[in-house]
Structure 1
Amino acid sequence: MSFIKEFKVFAVRGNVVDLAIAVIIGGAFGRIVTSLVNDIIMPPIGLLIGGVDFKDLMFVLREAYLDPSGVEINAVTINYGNFIQFIIDFLIIAFVIFLAIRAMSRLQKKEEAKPVIPPAPSREEKLLEEIRDLLKNR
């Protein structure tokens, strides 16, 4: 099989399309959670700990300065506030995914636990059963 044909078979496979949809939805969900953390959760937490914006939390390794030619050299910092926000983002996303998978598992268990009710016999089957019973009684 040629490389292009093999790629075409791979690309139109259902799993690849499902994965692409999941990545797109996951990206959108990630942006929603980031907004939730940055815009709703972190401001009150920052207020509770003294009006600190987590984005401003950093450890300065070297201050910004002007070199002899007058070009500004940026400060070198470790931005641990951003890191804390990303950890909170991750925990919220992981928790929501856990809840979704847990709910799906419970639904699957409920579907498996339901007894399968056999379909009612058709009109022809009922008629054949009556004929069988009449022949037995002869």
Structure 2
Amino acid sequence: MWEDFKKFALKGNVIDLAIAVIIGTAFGKIVSSLVEDIIMPAVGIMLGGFSVEDWTYTLNGAELRYGAFTQSVIDFFIIAFSIFMVIRLFTGLKRKKDVPAEEEPEVLDKKEELLVEIRDLLAKEKNGL
């Protein structure tokens, strides 16, 4: 059983996944800080000190903090959009790297054009015989 676990744990996919989770967590913290510390205070200033997180509703003595939920939804969309843009950037860079540069069309002078025409005519005659 130990050998099977070792084979599983040391597979490339598992290690890649672990690295992705760690990097994703760190990136999530960065984006969360961006949202909480920069974007939402700026939005609050633009709205005159208004804070979504303070929205509450009291029902039969119970306080429902739907503002905190709304803030979490806003955070999610900003984080999802940020991750989408990073992935799109990396995908675009990868595509540019993978696609070979287009070859420039060869420019022929008059003599070369005539030689190409002669070659093509000789090939047609040879195939016609």
The Cα shift of 1:44 comes to 2.6
SS of 1:31's equivalent?
helix
| Among 27, 32, 49, the residue aligned to 2:25 | 27
Q: Aligned in 2, Cα 1:7/1:87: closer, same or farther, shift over 3 Å?
A: same
Task: Tell me which residue corresponds to 2:77.
Answer: 91
Unaligned runs of 5+ in 2: 102-129
Code of the aligned partner of 2:73: I
Task: Tell me which residue corresponds to 1:82.
Answer: 68
Within 5 Å, which residues of 2 pair with 1:1-138? 3-63=1-61, 76-114=62-100
How high is the sequence identity, in percent, across the aligned residues? 50
The Cα shift of 1:77 comes to 2.4
Code of the aligned partner of 1:10: F
Q: How big is each residue's C-alpha offset from its partner over 1:32-77, in whole Å with a ceiling of 9 and x where there is no partner?
A: 22221122111232233342232211112243xxxxxxxxxxxx22
Bigger proportion of residues as helix? 2
Q: Distance in 2 between matches of 1:109 and 1:34?
A: 29
Are 1:10 and 1:16, in contact at CA under 8 Å, matched by a contact in 2?
A: yes
SS of 1:52's equivalent?
coil
Task: Tell me which residue corresponds to 1:122.
Answer: none
Number of aligned residue pairs: 101
RMSD of aligned C-alpha atoms? 2.0
Comparing 7-16 with 42-51, greater Cα deviation is found at 42-51
Moved over 6 A (4+): none
Unaligned runs of 5+ in 1: 64-75, 116-138
